[in-house]
């Protein structure tokens, strides 16, 4: 490194001197070309002026000492460099040395730098330095020469400061000499001894001694400092952090004055006025690819924090690392115990970190500072700090929630109180929906636990927590948990949970075996408590493994018949069983809402909520089911339980499909498959795939439907209700793409399985209606009619969607003359139920029926009505549902944009208003009241409407009519 010097009176463009670290004196022309551009200093004008005044006094023969104090990276070195530039610019000589903690053990290192810089390595006694331009002989080793210069030998271990004094004072006779030592607090003891010798003899010389320091208790430095302050010619300059205005001035060099004023407050808050940190923030801002206008700490800031830390005293570095581990608001006592420092030293370390700008009071100024400090800590060191922090904080009575992160980070828990603390913290974390942290706590507890029963309980809790976000991760715990249940090392409640997990992942035989064990324990009276909602668990097993449905259903029905069922799970099981066996009644919604209201969604209540929603859905109370499902879906989303969210999204999609709101069903159906992987769905994968197949098929996107059907489905998925829904959805896809034989096979399989399982419940899956439609497509009209009639008989007066499907089959399979009446009945049921999709299909079938009777006017009207309903539902009518002859006439425009001949166009505005209200079900008197006309006028308008549209009753009128102007306008003649 070149150390610059300039002879007195030197100026740019003339021969000037510089001295390299080997002590060689060289020369060059235009020395100014080698000078580094001065570093921009902010809010240091007073200090620069003081140093320049001291130099002026030095030139007049009055030497002084300037001690510049400031925090790490506070600008001391920059100030010293600026002053060196000033000294050179006025022809003085500046000798500089830099002390370093790494070189503290090297004797006379600082003095060696000064003698080398002075070009006096070869000088002994009064020998003069080589003249300018002369080449010095190759010098011997620096250490040996310095020791020789200062009179250090094997017999004399101590240096002779007088020799250094004679050398430097002799050099000062040629002109003012400035000796600068940066970071003097790291100087070795022998160099400090020589510097003190110089400091005491400066007043009558032309030597100015400039030192920079950090005020720390570092080894022998306090004695040196105290001796300096005894000297009357010692001047102490304290560098303060930059003010907000100073930070703005510094930023102006990076982002301009206007922008600097906008960023100054945030920069000052984050940097604490430390120039290095402020500059790093400015660099990060310039390199910020997001361009969001905010001041965001980045890589430069992290590096600057690390630089500050490693330039600090070791005690400060250790304290900062401990603070990053323990927390921003740890007391000095706790920090001191963690880093093994006495309270006084800990307080001093904290004060030093505050001065540097890393802390603000008792904590780090910004999370980015905390992150940067943690990056400086090695993994092993970090684990050791966390382990020590956990032990110390436990001794101070800290809560489990604060202790657990340290135990997890430590990686190894050996204290006897560790496992209970981790389990308590995991319970709190799950209650607060911090699932990832709960899993970490339980994993650490499982590794540390030694008791087998305790290990089983922990692993069950771990599997339950993982299931919330990734059921596939929970599956790996099932073998050991099943073995623990068989060995009798599991509580009844945990056995109930295990049954659900086993069923989800297709291990139905193991689930049945665990249920039998649980039943045996209950019958033997060895259970410490009765499992709450045992009937619901059995019903869940029956749905998830339909082969068990016939076995568990009588037990559920018996529980339902029991007087005053108490617990929510028991009431949910009774409600669902009642809906499946007897259908809905006027109390169904009330009973369901009593169960759903006021309950917080959690692991224990999830099955209860699902069963109650299922009861509402199978009772065809779809609006109520949709409302509660939306509520539970939002709660699951807020709490970050991905599996819960996916589960309720699937139920929501199923409800929307049953409501005929196909477009609305697409979002939750897609969400269910995107939140968790297909593998995490286990054997329930059939349900979300079925929803997507039904949606994409109904919307005419057959390629997408085929892609979903190509997703792998485990064999066990076809042993539950979700698998039946998959088969039914695939069958409808086959029907849509004109593959009725394949559809017939799927629908027959559904029926066979439901009858075999004893679960032939039309509200769960109306397979007969679907099968009848496939039979029709294959020309098996009699078989289709019988299936439809059987389906209607099993439904009763409820379930308009399934009734409409069955009536459509009967209309096609029976007498063509009776078809419109059957379809009008279906339309009336669907109109009151708001079943848009089924309504569009039924109206289209009505158009087809009129076309078969050669009533083309009504056929066109109903076809157009079907298209409008489908458009309102954001769906397309299936291909081939309408005869080709009336498709073009049903559309509002032909292929070139020309309006088609539509009898609706023959209606006057007044007739359109009356017809629109009549098609919506209003009576003549209600229409007259709305339009402010007489009943007689309404009757006359309707007579003309019927004649022009060639219809004979209100139900034949299109639902969607283009009504001009305001409905309330009076109808003219």
Alpha carbons 604 and 582: distance in angstroms, whole number: 28
**pLDDT tens, position by position, 552-607:** 444 445 444 444 456 788 888 888 878 877 777 778 888 898 888 877 888 888 88
Going by DSSP bridges, is the β-strand pair 363-364/359-360 parallel, antiparallel, or unpaired? antiparallel
SS (H, E, C) 343-380: HHHHHHHHHHHHHHCCEECCEECCHHHHHHHHHCCCHH
What pLDDT is recorded for position 690?
A: 96
Q: pLDDT (tens digit, 9 = 90+) per residue, 38-49?
A: 346 899 999 999
What is the value of pTM for the model shown? 0.69
**CA proximity to 833, closest of 644, 686, 658, 950:** 658
> CA 157 to CA 671: how far, in whole Å?
80
**Beta carbons within 10 angstroms of residue 395's beta carbon:** 10
Architecture of domain 905-973: Orthogonal Bundle (1.10)
List the chain residues with pLDDT less than 70: 1-40, 119-159, 215-220, 289-292, 328-329, 525-535, 540, 542-566, 796-798, 832-834, 879-880, 884-902, 905, 959-973
Q: Are 186 and 76 in contact (CB under 8 A)?
A: no
| Burial tier of 561 (Cβ tally within 10 Å: 0-12, 13-18, 19+) | exposed
Other CB atoms closer than 10 Å to residue 717's CB: what's the count? 22
What are φ and ψ of residue 20, in 5° steps? -90, 175
d(CA 470, CA 188): 60
Domains of the chain, residue spans: 2-238, 244-296, 905-973
Residue 755, both tokens: 């009858």
The alpha carbon dihedral of 337, 340, 342, 346 has a sign of: negative
Q: Which two tokens stand for residue 725?
A: 């829904």
Closest to 425 in 3D by CA, of 395, 410, 446, 405: 405
Longest dimension (CA), the chain: 136
Specify the CATH number of the domain 2-238.
Answer: 3.40.50.300
- Number of other residues whose CB lies within 10 A of the CB of residue 361: 10
- Rounded to an integer, what distance in angstroms lies between the CA atom of residue 873 and that of residue 840? 9
Q: What angle do CA 970, 972, 973 make, to 5 degrees?
A: 150
- 229-241: buried (b, 16+ CB within 10 Å) or exposed (e) per residue? eebebbeebebeb
Of the candidates 120, 226, 212, 230, the one whose C-alpha atom is nearest the C-alpha of residue 164 is 120
Backbone angles phi, psi at 430, to 5 degrees: -65, -40
Q: Can 2-238 and 905-973 be said to share one CATH topology?
A: no
Which residue in this structure is represented by tokens 């529980």?
Answer: 559
């Amino acid at each position: 490194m070149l150390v610059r010097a300039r002879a007195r009176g030197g100026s740019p463009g003339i021969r000037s001197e510089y001295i390299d670290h080997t002590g060689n004196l060289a020369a060059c022309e235009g020395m100014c070309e080698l000078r580094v551009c001065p570093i921009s200093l902010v809010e240091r004008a007073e200090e620069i002026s003081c140093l320049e005044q001291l130099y002026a006094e030095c030139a007049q023969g009055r030497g002084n000492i300037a001690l510049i104090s400031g925090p790490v990276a506070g600008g001391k070195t920059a100030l010293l460099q600026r002053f060196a530039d000033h000294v050179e610019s006025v022809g003085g000589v500046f000798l500089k040395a830099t002390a370093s903690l790494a070189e503290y053990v090297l004797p006379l290192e600082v003095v060696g730098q000064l003698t080398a810089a002075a070009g006096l390595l070869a000088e002994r006694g009064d020998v003069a330095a080589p003249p300018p331009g002369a080449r010095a002989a190759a010098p011997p080793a620096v250490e040996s020469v310095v020791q020789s210069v200062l009179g250090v030998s094997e017999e004399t271990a101590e240096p002779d400061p007088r020799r250094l004094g004679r050398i430097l004072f002799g050099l000062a006779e040629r002109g003012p000499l400035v000796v600068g030592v940066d970071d003097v607090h790291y100087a070795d003891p022998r160099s400090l001894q020589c510097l003190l010798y110089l400091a005491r003899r400066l007043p009558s010389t032309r030597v100015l001694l400039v030192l920079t320091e950090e005020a720390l208790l570092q080894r022998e430095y306090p004695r040196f400092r105290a001796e300096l302050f005894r000297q009357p010619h010692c001047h102490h300059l304290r560098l303060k952090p930059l003010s907000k205005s100073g930070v703005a001035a510094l930023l102006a060099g990076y982002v301009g004055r206007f922008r600097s004023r906008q960023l100054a407050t945030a920069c000052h808050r984050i940097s604490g006025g430390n120039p290095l940190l402020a500059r790093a923030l400015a660099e990060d801002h310039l390199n910020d690819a997001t361009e969001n206008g905010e001041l965001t700490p980045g890589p430069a800031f992290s590096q600057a924090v690390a630089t500050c830390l490693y330039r600090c005293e070791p005690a400060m570095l250790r304290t900062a690392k401990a603070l990053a581990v323990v927390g921003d608001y740890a007391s000095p006592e706790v920090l001191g115990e963690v880093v093994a420092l006495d309270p006084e030293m800990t307080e001093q370390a904290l004060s030093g970190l505050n001065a540097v700008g890393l802390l603000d009071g008792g904590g780090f100024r910004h999370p980015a500072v905390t992150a940067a400090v943690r990056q400086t800590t090695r993994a092993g060191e970090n684990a050791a700090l966390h382990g020590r922090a956990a032990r110390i904080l436990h001794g101070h009575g800290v809560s489990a929630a604060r202790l657990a992160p340290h135990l997890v980070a430590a990686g190894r828990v050996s204290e006897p109180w560790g496992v209970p603390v981790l389990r308590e913290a995991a319970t709190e974390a799950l209650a607060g929906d911090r699932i990832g942290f709960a899993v970490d706590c339980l994993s650490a507890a499982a590794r540390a636990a030694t008791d087998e029963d305790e290990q089983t309980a922990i692993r069950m809790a771990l599997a339950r927590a993982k299931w919330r976000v990734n059921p596939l991760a929970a599956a790996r715990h099932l073998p050991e948990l099943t073995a623990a249940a068989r060995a009798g090392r599991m509580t009844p409640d945990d056995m109930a949970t295990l049954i659900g997990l086993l069923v989800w992942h297709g291990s139905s035989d193991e689930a049945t075996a665990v249920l039998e064990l649980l039943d045996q324990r209950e019958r033997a009276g060895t259970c410490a408590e009765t499992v709450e909602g045992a009937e619901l668990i059995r019903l869940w097993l029956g749905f998830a493994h339909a082969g068990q449905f016939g076995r568990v259903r009588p037990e559920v029905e018996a529980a339902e018949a029991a007087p005053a069922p108490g617990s929510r799970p028991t009431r949910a099981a009774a409600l669902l069983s009642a809906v499946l066996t007897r259908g809905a009644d006027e109390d169904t919604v009330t009973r369901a809402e009593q169960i759903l209201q006021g309950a917080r969604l959690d692991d224990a209540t999830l099955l209860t909520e699902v069963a109650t929603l299922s009861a509402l859905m199978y009772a065809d109370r779809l609006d109520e089911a949709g409302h509660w499902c939306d509520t539970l879906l939002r709660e699951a989303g807020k709490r970050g339980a991905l599996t819960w969210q996916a589960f309720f999204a699937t139920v929501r999609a199923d409800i929307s499909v049953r409501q005929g709101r196909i477009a609305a069903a697409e979002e939750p159906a897609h969400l269910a498959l995107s939140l968790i992987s297909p593998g995490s769905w286990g054997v329930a994968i059939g349900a979300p795939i079925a929803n997507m197949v039904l949606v994409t098929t109904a919307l005419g996107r057959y390629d997408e439907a085929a892609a979903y059907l190509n997703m792998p489905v485990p064999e066990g998925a076809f042993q539950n209700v979700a698998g039946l829904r998959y088969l039914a959805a695939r069958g409808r896809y086959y029907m849509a793409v004109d593959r009725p034989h394949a559809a017939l096979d799927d629908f027959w399989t559904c029926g066979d399985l439901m009858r075999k399982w004893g679960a032939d419940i039309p509200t769960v899956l109306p397979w007969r209606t679907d099968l009848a439609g496939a039979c029709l497509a294959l020309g098996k009209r009699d078989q289709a009619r019988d299936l439809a009639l059987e389906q209607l008989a099993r439904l009763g007066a409820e379930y308009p969607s399934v009734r409409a499907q069955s009536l459509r089959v009967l209309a096609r399979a029976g007498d063509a003359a009776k078809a419109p009446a059957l379809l009008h009945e279906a339309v009336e049921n669907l109109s009151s139920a708001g079943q848009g999709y089924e309504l569009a299909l039924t109206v289209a079938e009505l158009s087809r029926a009129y076309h078969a009777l050669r009533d083309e006017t009504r056929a066109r009207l109903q076809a157009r009505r079907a298209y409008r309903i489908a458009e309102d539902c954001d769906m397309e009518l299936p291909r081939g549902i309408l005869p080709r002859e009336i498709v073009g006439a049903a559309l509002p425009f032909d292929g070139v944009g020309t309006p088609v001949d539509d009898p609706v166009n023959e209606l006057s505005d007044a007739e359109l208003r009356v017809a629109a209200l009549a098609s919506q079900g209003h009576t003549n008197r209600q229409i007259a009241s709305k339009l402010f006309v007489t009943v007689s006028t309404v009757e006359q308008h309707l007579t003309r409407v019927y004649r022009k549209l060639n219809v004979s009753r209100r139900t034949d009128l299109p639902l969607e009519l283009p009504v001009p102007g305001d409905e309330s306008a009076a109808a003219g003649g």
